[in-house]
Amino acid sequence: MYASNAGTSQAIIRSTANEERSMTETKKKRMQLEVGKIEETKGQMPRDG
């Protein structure tokens, strides 16, 4: 009984780690997109003075 519980918690931990990794990957991509937008707008004149 205890052994199967330990195995289950290991699986949960593993899947959580995978989710976190994919989350950070998504965040990195989003950050790169944001930086790209900022770089684009930096080259243009600011609209509100």
Q: pLDDT (tens digit, 9 = 90+) per residue, 7-19?
A: 778 888 888 888 9
The dihedral region occupied by 44, where left means phi > 0, alpha psi between -120 and 50, and beta the remainder, is beta
Q: Is 49 inside a domain boundary?
A: no
pTM exceeding the 0.85 threshold for the entire prediction: no
Q: Is 47 inside a domain boundary?
A: no
Number of separate domains in the chain: 1
Question: Structure tokens of 42?
Answer: 């930096």
Calculate mean pLDDT across residues 16-43. Answer: 87
Q: Is 5 inside a domain boundary?
A: yes
